[in-house]
Amino acid sequence: MKIYKVGGAIRDALLGLPVQDHDYVVVGATPETMVAEGFTPVGKDFPVFLHPASHEEYALARTERKTAPGYRGFVFHTAQDVTLEQDLIRRDLTINAIAQAEDGSLVDPFHGQRDLQSRIFRHVSPAFAEDPVRILRVARFAARFANFTVAPETLLLMRQMVATGEVDALVPERVWQELSRGLMESMPSRMFAVLRNCGALARILPELDALWGVPQPPLHHPEIDTGVHVMLVVDHAAKKHMALPIRFAALMHDLGKGATPPTEWPRHHGHETRGLPLIEAACQRLKIPNDCRDLALITAREHGNVGRALELRANTIVSLFERCDAFRRPQRFIDMLTAAECDFRGRGIHSKIDNSAENSINDFANKPFPQSAHLQNALKAAQSINASEIAQRHNDKPSHIPEAIHAARVSAVALAI
């Protein structure tokens, strides 16, 4: 029996990055041998065991055979005669197919170290095309390792997988799992660039894919198109280490612009409203968690109002609070303001402002955004009124209570602003 450390732990160590988890492959053993050594079996699809002391996972070396579409359509085979190379060849990328023996020596039959040095994502074998999740994993790795590129032959294979419908067999839960993990990486835009380049984004999130090529209205954003702007917004959220719901709201906030013909930009184009059914449809299809969906909806609907906050009257501001349920969910409202600020910041150093040389490049990262503090101060003022006392004063006419509370809040906000 021989034990090898494999996968991401080896890759990250060779890159000089912190190692989070360790995975092990056991060659030349049987389930009975593992149990006799004190390991606890936990695998459902194939034999995986927990180490008696460290509780890390040890999997028996295995091969696999494709039997149906999708990532679940596999039959796994484990036996004492399955070699380490046979196990490694079933992995997705060469950089993840490096093993380390117990004496520290590396086993690298597919030249993963070379691809690490060249910063290339390259598939190990044609078996890559049998599992559509691997497209999502490559895209997610691109978000984590921003200086890596996809090998041309791997990109071609990914495009073929999209063309043959393999991506359509992905289950919603797995798509969201990979997308959410990619959103939490350092440069999420790279994930979506890879997905667009192979054609998978149009199948997974067509509402988002529709944004590229849609020009921004000149008076709203200076980016070449909405897709570029959205990627800048998401990357800003990542740079500031925002939570997942805020990053998702940043991603979805402009979906409504993809529903408008690019040659038709009426003065009040209302993309905020048009985006709401698109967000609802995407969230329902991918079974996205409620906290992410809800924040994305109010951000899409209200980010324009947040941008105009300094111009709004007290009554309009209180109505904004009420629509957003800010009195019961103040933190979600503040998260919406944060996502709206990401929208403002997402006009980075690559954005052309006008044709003059001195203003051709502008960085919004450090520009003031007083709208957030303005609305938070207004919310505190509105929260300061005694709603219970007002309700008691109108016990004889309960139907007047909401109107009275609203009026008191408007007065408090008017004083505050």
**Domain of residue 14, CATH code:** 3.30.460.10
Is residue 225 a part of any domain in this protein? yes
Is residue 186 a part of any domain in this protein? no
pLDDT at 262: 47
User: Which structural domain range is residue 56 located in?
Assistant: 2-115
Is residue 192 a part of any domain in this protein? no
- On the question of pLDDT at 253 being above 90, the answer is yes
Q: Which residue among 58, 81, 115 closes a domain?
A: 115
Q: Which residue among 115, 130, 147 closes a domain?
A: 115
Q: What is the pLDDT of residues 316-332, one digit of tens each?
A: 999 999 999 999 999 99
Q: How far apart are alpha carbons 115 and 148 in whole angstroms?
A: 9
Is residue 334 a part of any domain in this protein? yes
Task: Specify the higher pLDDT residue, 384 or 224.
Answer: 384
Is residue 162 a part of any domain in this protein? no
- Supply angle C-alpha 198, 202, 205, rounded to 5: 120
258 and 363 housed in the same domain: yes
Is residue 230 a part of any domain in this protein? yes
- Count of Cβ atoms closer than 10 Å to residue 296 Cβ: 28
Mean pLDDT of 257-285: 75
Mean pLDDT of 334-338: 98
Q: Which amino acid is at 197?
A: N
- On the question of pLDDT at 21 being above 90, the answer is no
Q: For the chain, give the percent of residues with pLDDT over 90.
A: 70
Is residue 59 a part of any domain in this protein? yes
388 and 266 housed in the same domain: yes
**Scanning the structure block, which residue is given the tokens 């009554």?**
315
- Supply angle C-alpha 147, 159, 183, rounded to 5: 45
pLDDT at 359: 37
Side-chain half-sphere exposure of 315, counting CA atoms within 13 A: 3
pLDDT at 351: 41
222 and 320 housed in the same domain: yes
The CATH number of whichever domain residue 372 belongs to comes to 1.10.3210
- On the question of pLDDT at 361 being above 50, the answer is no
247 and 361 housed in the same domain: yes
245 and 370 housed in the same domain: yes
Domain count, the chain: 2
Residue-wise DSSP of 17-86: PPP---EEEEES--HHHHHHTT-EE--SSS-EEE-TTT--EEEE-EEEEE-SSSTT-EEEEE-TT--HHH
Is residue 306 a part of any domain in this protein? yes
Q: How far apart are alpha carbons 180 and 206 in whole angstroms?
A: 17
Give bridge partners of residue 149 from the DSSP assignment. Answer: 120
Q: Which residue among 63, 91, 115 closes a domain?
A: 115
77 and 212 housed in the same domain: no
